[in-house]
Amino acid sequence: MYTAYLGRRLVELLNTRDHTQRTVQDFFSNEYFTLFFNDERFLQHVNNSKFDQAYKQKGKTPLTEVVRTNVLAAQHQRIQHDTPDGSFFLGGAAAEATAGTSGQVTDILLPISPEEVYASWIGAALGIGVSGGLNVLVDDDLVLLTLYDGWQYYRAFMKQMHNLKPHQINTWNGWWITNAFRDDFEPTDEPFSHQPDVKIDKASGIASLETQKWVGVIFALAHKIPRPLTAYVYSLSQMNTTVGFIQIQLRDIVEVLRELHRQLFLLREGLSYEKVASLYETEMGFQKACELGAIGVQAIEPESLREYMPGARGNSKLFKTPKNKEDSLWITYKIYETWITAMLNNRKLLELSEKVAAILIQVSDPTQRGKKGGSNLVNELTNSTNRNQLIERFARLIDKIPDQHPMLNEIASMIAVMPLTDIPLFIALLKLKYAVEEAKLITSTSKAN
Amino acid sequence: MSQELYYVVRYTGPFGYIKPWTAVRDERTFSQQFLTPSIVEGIRQKLGVEVILRHRLSYAKIDQQQERTQSRAFVIEAKRKRATREQSILIRGVMLNPVLHLAFSTPEDAELAAEQHVCLCRNEDVLLPDGLVLTMSADEFDQIPGFELLFGEGSSAVMVGYDRFQANQPMYGTVRIIGRPVGADPLE
């Protein structure tokens, strides 16, 4: 399966890098086994494998060096002589034709060599675990070698932390890749200058690694590899999940993040790129995002922004006006604004919406609320649900601000040609800018008083 | 610039599903979004045409549909004197309203193809042709939104399965995405 393909790729890459001639089997026995399974706590869980069985028996038969070596021998025996199945060929089919999933297996008789089986273990240890229980395999030299380099630190970290639970290689990979792709990462440093996120269960005292947000892993990849990547998304367990090959449009995503960093840096000095990435929360889970067909700008829709967009569920929420300069709403609003601008792919629209928001403030004049009836017009406008309504409600503003008719004309022409799916985004942007203008006005009047 | 002309037929249908080659023990599987060399060869043989030069696939949305599957082999229950099949649940992410463009090299092939149906990987998901043959340049074909796998190995290529028509050799290709391939035509 695909895990086997990537396992073989890693061994080839290492041979090239280290000028060695290791076969996949050499690598499995000498390096991979030693690191992953030659310890009381294993780094990887392979459901139903010999290692798994031994691990479950460890209460009765402690996992001593001798036991582990025997298990390895038994596993070698199976790999060399038995027909591969899902219990030791990772990503492979169930053994029996009577299994409920046997209908998914091709009728092409593929000769699966022991080499391929060994490679499938190594490949599965390269999966990057993300929130939502899915793993991502990335066929890229830099990513594969970086993950490989991280394995030994996982073992070291486990040695250092006695209550860390085993088997979390994929979760580790998620943390490692976000860590190793940081700008300030120095492999020669003490590797745990940034500690992995660990959660400790109060009752049992057992610690476990926390899964990374999917968008965090995507941001890390985007930072180092600004080209489209075709990733393989899956999960292996009792039964598997195959999302399949999903393109990650890293270049588009990194542009959004860099722009956001630029904007937020003006707001809060000293904010690092990584900090900005960690502040970003998405609306969609990873599986939902994969349903979009590709992970691009649309997939990283910020959390809760949808509540402010006109939709089928009646009136949308209004943006709160930030209280002061330190208000964390500013950061949320910058995230919203940057994403909407990227989605609309139109800087001019951003400038225009700022100008329109300034006019709307004049019309509604929140400092003398309700006296001129202007705020009603503005409320109506921002509650528009479709193109016609929006243009019509802009037209009603002409009486209030006759001198601004060229701008109203310009905005109406832009709305007229805007794709249908962009209209809710534009309305949300307008509301956002309105809240920002309101905040400016309130701070300036409070100063004047 | 190439002067090569494509003769293009557009096929549409309510559902489409392409099983990824790695889905062998699944409880949840999404549809693959592009055709592999062996799928294209299968469609070519079905249509009885010389060659299919290019493809482009788009759809409205992925819909997760739950179904019951049965095992391939029977289990003999000697005591009860009966044979049964193991059952299992599978959630399949199916493409809704798939649109497939196929590019042929001659008008004759395209005319022939425009009178037949095709299916992706489930034969119940029939896609019907528009009946029109569109003549377009390679550049124009490149504007059609959708997914396409450009066959062959390369730095960004991925392995997409084994080719049953080529002695089960591994197949490789690079996924290419043009425009908005998903949800460009909203569902009513």
What number of C-beta contacts closer than 8 Å exist between A and B? Answer: 143
Contact A98 B86 (CB under 8 A): yes
pLDDT of residue A302: 95
Chain B residues closer than 8 Å to A102 by CB: 71-73, 86
Q: Which of A230, A233, A295, A297 to mutate to test the interface with B (most CBs of B within 10 A)?
A: A230
Give the closest-approach CA distance of B30 to chain A in angstroms.
5
Chain B residues closer than 8 Å to A293 by CB: 33, 59, 62, 147, 177, 181-182
pLDDT surpassing 70 at residue A314: no
Rounded to whole angstroms, the Cα distance separating B54 from B148 reads 8
- pLDDT tens digits along A315-373: 678 888 887 777 888 889 999 999 999 998 877 788 888 888 888 888 777 666 555 56
pLDDT of residue A362: 80
pLDDT of residue A356: 86
Beta bridge partners of residue B59, listed in sequence order: B182
Q: In this structure, what token pair is assigned to residue B170?
A: 């591994």
Rounded to whole angstroms, the Cα distance separating B115 from B129 reads 7
Q: In b/e form, how buried is each residue of A40-67, taking b as 16+ CB within 10 angstroms? A: ebbbbbbeebbbbebbeeeeeeebeeee
Q: In this structure, what token pair is assigned to residue A165?
A: 């639970």
Contact B72 A227 (CB under 8 A): no
Rounded to an integer, the average pLDDT of B14-27 is 93
Contact B72 A103 (CB under 8 A): yes
Contact B73 A98 (CB under 8 A): yes
How far lies B73's CA from each of A99, A103, A112, A380, B81, in Å? Answer: 8, 9, 22, 64, 16
- pLDDT tens digits along B96-146: 999 999 999 999 999 999 999 999 888 889 999 998 999 999 999 999 999
Map residue B101 onto helix, strand or coil.
Answer: strand
- Measured at the CA of A440, the angle between CA A360 and CA A433, to 5 degrees, comes to 45
B126 near A CB under 8 A: no
- Of B24, B25, B30, which has the smallest distance from its Cβ to A244's Cβ? B30
Q: Evaluate whether residue A87 is within a structural domain.
A: yes
Q: Evaluate whether residue A300 is within a structural domain.
A: no
pLDDT surpassing 80 at residue A271: yes
Give the closest-approach CA distance of B107 to chain A in angstroms.
32
Residues in chain B: 188
How confident is the prediction for chain B on average, in pLDDT? 92
β-strands B99-104, B52-58 pairing:
antiparallel
Q: Which amino acid is at A35?
A: L
Q: Closest-CA residue in chain B for A245?
A: B32
Which residues lie closer than 8 Å to A287 by C-beta, 6 or more apart? A132, A134, A243
How confident is the prediction for chain A on average, in pLDDT? 88
Q: Which amino acid is at B89?
A: I
**Could you tell me if A29 and A162 are in contact, meaning their C-beta atoms sit under 8 angstroms apart?**
no
pLDDT of residue A135: 96
Q: Closest-CA residue in chain A for B94?
A: A291
Give the burial class of A181: count Cβ atoms within 10 A of its Cβ; 0-12 exposed, 13-18 middle, 19 or more buried. buried
pLDDT surpassing 80 at residue B3: no
Distance of alpha carbon A233 from its chain centroid, rounded? Answer: 12
Which residues lie closer than 8 Å to A449 by C-beta, 6 or more apart? none
pLDDT of residue A372: 58
Give the closest-approach CA distance of A380 to chain B in angstroms.
27
- Of A101, A109, A293, which has the smallest distance from its Cβ to B26's Cβ? A101
Q: Evaluate whether residue A289 is within a structural domain.
A: no
pLDDT of residue A190: 64
Q: Closest-CA residue in chain B for A292?
A: B182
Rounded to whole angstroms, the Cα distance separating B85 from B72 reads 8
DSSP output for A406-422 = HHHHHHHHHHHHS-GGG
Q: How many domains does chain A have?
A: 2
Rounded to whole angstroms, the Cα distance separating A110 from A119 reads 16
Residue that terminates a domain, selected from A138, A160, A182 = A182
Q: Tell me the torsion sign for CA atoms B95, B97, B100, B101.
A: negative
Phi, psi of A217 (to 5 degrees): -65, -40
For the packed helices A114-124 and A65-81, what is the interaxial angle rounded to 10 degrees?
A: 130
pLDDT surpassing 60 at residue B187: no
Chain B residues closer than 8 Å to A249 by CB: 177
**Could you tell me if A98 and B86 are in contact, meaning their C-beta atoms sit under 8 angstroms apart?**
yes
pLDDT of residue A379: 80
Greatest C-alpha distance within chain A: 89
pLDDT surpassing 60 at residue A449: no
Chain B residues closer than 8 Å to A239 by CB: 25-27, 88
Q: Which of B21, B24, B35, B182 to mutate to test the interface with A (most CBs of A within 10 A)?
A: B24
pLDDT of residue A370: 52
Rounded to whole angstroms, the Cα distance separating B19 from A11 reads 29
Nearest to A300 by CA among A378, A214, A367, A373: A214
Most confident of A133-147, A224-238, A267-281, A318-332: A133-147
Q: Model-level pTM?
A: 0.89
The HSE-up count of residue B56 (CA atoms within 13 Å, CB side) is: 21
Rounded to an integer, the average pLDDT of A3-7 is 93
Rounded to an integer, the average pLDDT of A406-428 is 85
Which residues lie closer than 8 Å to B29 by C-beta, 6 or more apart? A104, A241, A242, A244, B19, B20, B23, B90, B91, B92, B93
pLDDT of residue A247: 92
- Of B29, B59, B168, which has the smallest distance from its Cβ to A242's Cβ? B29
pLDDT surpassing 90 at residue A169: yes
Contact B25 A86 (CB under 8 A): yes
Q: Which of A106-110, A335-339, A439-443, A445-449 has the lowest mean pLDDT?
A: A445-449
Chain B residues closer than 8 Å to A242 by CB: 20, 22-23, 26, 28-30
| DSSP H or E stretch at residue A129 | strand A128-130
Q: In this structure, what token pair is assigned to residue A333?
A: 């609003």
CATH numeric code, B5-64+91-178: 3.30.70
Q: How many CB atoms lie within 10 A of CB A21?
A: 7
pLDDT of residue A23: 95
Rounded to whole angstroms, the Cα distance separating B178 from A170 reads 32
Q: Evaluate whether residue A89 is within a structural domain.
A: yes
Map residue A64 onto helix, strand or coil.
Answer: coil
Which residues lie closer than 8 Å to A164 by C-beta, 6 or more apart? A41, A157, A158, A198, A206, A207, A208, A209
A contact set with B (CB within 8 A): 1-2, 5, 86, 91-94, 96-106, 108-110, 139, 227-230, 232, 234, 239-245, 247, 249, 290-294, 420-421
Rounded to whole angstroms, the Cα distance separating A449 from A444 reads 9
Q: Closest-CA residue in chain A for B26?
A: A240
Beta bridge partners of residue A134, listed in sequence order: A130
Q: Evaluate whether residue A198 is within a structural domain.
A: no
The percentage of chain A sitting over the pLDDT mark of 90, rounded to a whole number, equals 50
Residue that terminates a domain, selected from A182, A207, A232 = A182
pLDDT surpassing 90 at residue A388: no
Chain A residues closer than 8 Å to B174 by CB: 230
Rounded to whole angstroms, the Cα distance separating B168 from B188 reads 42
Rounded to an integer, the average pLDDT of A140-163 is 93
How far lies A33's CA from each of A68, A71, A121, A359, B52, in Å? Answer: 10, 11, 10, 68, 47
- Of A5, A96, A100, which has the smallest distance from its Cβ to B69's Cβ? A100
Rounded to whole angstroms, the Cα distance separating A163 from A186 reads 27
Q: Which residue has the tokens 């549909």?
A: B65
Give the closest-approach CA distance of A140 to chain B in angstroms.
8
β-strands B87-96, B26-30 pairing:
parallel
B108 near A CB under 8 A: no
Chain A residues closer than 8 Å to B20 by CB: 242, 244-245
- A193 in the Ramachandran plot: left (φ > 0), alpha (ψ -120 to 50) or beta? alpha
Rounded to an integer, the average pLDDT of A402-422 is 83
- pLDDT tens digits along B60-85: 999 999 999 999 999 999 999 999 99
Chain A residues closer than 8 Å to B156 by CB: 227-230
> Residue A187's pLDDT band (boundaries 50, 70, 90)?
low
Which value does ipTM take for this structure?
0.90
> Residue A188's pLDDT band (boundaries 50, 70, 90)?
low
Contact B162 A1 (CB under 8 A): no
How far lies B81's CA from each of A96, A255, A261, B74, B76, in Å? Answer: 21, 66, 70, 13, 8
Which residues lie closer than 8 Å to A120 by C-beta, 6 or more apart? A1, A3, A4, A7, A89, A90, A91, A92
pLDDT surpassing 80 at residue A446: no
Residue that terminates a domain, selected from A182, A217, A236 = A182
Q: Which of A66-70, A437-441, B105-109, B172-176 has the lowest mean pLDDT?
A: A437-441
Rounded to whole angstroms, the Cα distance separating B8 from A74 reads 57
Give the closest-approach CA distance of A234 to chain B in angstroms.
9
Chain B residues closer than 8 Å to A227 by CB: 156
- Of B28, B168, B183, which has the smallest distance from its Cβ to A110's Cβ? B168
Chain B residues closer than 8 Å to A106 by CB: 21, 24, 162
Print the domain residue range for A162. 2-105+112-182
B97 near A CB under 8 A: no
Q: Closest-CA residue in chain A for B91?
A: A241
